[in-house]
């Protein structure tokens, strides 16, 4: 069974004051909540079951999506009664030891091929696969470079407003069942710590480099960009009914 767990329990502190009344996954992009877009995409990619891990304002998410009948895909819920970090809930959700799963944040706006990502992950034999995106940061200041000799004040270079390229996690992951054994049930654990545990245990963790459209709407800048761009990318993001 192609199953996905959507992590939707966070308080959305980076997106306040909007998230004082709405959980991040219900924040509107154009004419619909971002999680509505995600659920429609997962159905179009032939996923067969969605589990939404809720916490903050859980009742609003559960009331909106209910059992998934209106979307044509079964939806169930795991409600956190205390914060378990970004991946702690995975150790308490039934049935995740049966097969490799897709796990994703509930505030991701992307047109990535979720099904292809999961199939590639399974074929690789990796314990975990992380969808990644290359981005550039433009630093608006002059950046100084120093030598490594005994004089820490001696300059060796000066870069005016440099651009730095980095690889970021898209908030979309795949896990083999054995990866979840590294999560202690009921204990708080964040995603980076799980990945470091897997690496320390000698497990293989791979990246899925993506050129797809992607915004993390948990950030004000990305949320505003999503609002501005939505109509121009609507057909890429929302599958036909």
CATH of the domain at 47: 3.90.550.10
pLDDT tens profile 171-224: 999 999 999 999 999 899 999 999 999 999 999 999 999 999 998 887 778 888
Number of H helices, E strands in the chain: 5, 13
The predicted pLDDT at position 137 comes to: 85
Closest CA to 65 of 26, 93, 103: 26
**What pLDDT is recorded for position 130?**
98
Average pLDDT, the chain: 91
Residue 122 lies in a domain: yes
Residue 151 inside a domain? The answer is no
Containing structural domain, residue 49:
3-132+168-237
Q: What is the pLDDT of residues 55-69, one digit of tens each?
A: 888 899 999 999 999
Contacts of residue 83, Cβ cutoff 8 Å, sequence gap at least 6:
9, 55, 188
pLDDT recorded at residue 46: 96
pTM of the predicted model, to two decimals? 0.89
- Res 20: pLDDT: 63
Is there a contact between 23 and 64 (Cβ–Cβ < 8 Å)? no
- DSSP SS3 for 151: coil
The residue among 217, 202, 25 whose CA lies nearest residue 110 is 217
Asked whether residue 145 is domain-assigned, the answer is no
Residue 118 in domain: yes
List all residues 6 or more positions away from 13 whose beta carbon is below 8 Å from its beta carbon.
19
- The strand pairing partners of 76, in sequence order, are 51
The confidence band for 27, taking pLDDT boundaries of 50, 70 and 90, is: confident
**Range 70-78 average pLDDT:** 96
pLDDT of residue 91: 92
């Amino acid at each position: 069974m192609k199953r996905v767990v959507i992590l939707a329990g966070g308080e959305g502190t980076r997106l306040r004051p909007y998230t004082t009344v709405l959980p991040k996954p219900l924040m509107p992009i154009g004419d619909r909540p971002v999680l509505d877009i995600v659920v429609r995409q997962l159905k179009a990619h032939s996923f067969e079951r969605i589990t939404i891990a809720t916490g903050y304002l859980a009742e609003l998410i559960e009331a909106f999506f209910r059992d998934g009948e209106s979307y044509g895909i079964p939806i169930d819920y795991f409600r956190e009664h205390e914060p378990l970090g970004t991946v702690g809930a995975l150790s308490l959700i039934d049935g995740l030891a049966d097969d490799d799963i897709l796990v994703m944040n509930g505030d991701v706006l992307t047109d990535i091929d979720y099904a292809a990502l999961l199939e590639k992950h399974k074929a690789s034999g990796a314990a975990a696969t992380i969808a990644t995106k290359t981005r550039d940061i433009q630093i608006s200041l002059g950046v100084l470079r120093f030598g490594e000799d005994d004089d820490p004040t001696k300059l060796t270079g000066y870069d005016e407003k440099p651009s730095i390229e980095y690889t970021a996690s898209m908030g979309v992951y795949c896990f083999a069942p054995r990866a979840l054994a590294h999560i202690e049930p009921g204990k708080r654990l964040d995603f980076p710590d799980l990945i470091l545990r897997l690496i320390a245990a000698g497990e293989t963790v791979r990246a899925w480099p993506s050129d797809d459209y992607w915004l993390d709407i948990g950030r004000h800048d990305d949320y505003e960009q999503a609002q501005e761009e939505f109509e121009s990318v609507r057909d890429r993001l929302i599958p036909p009914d």
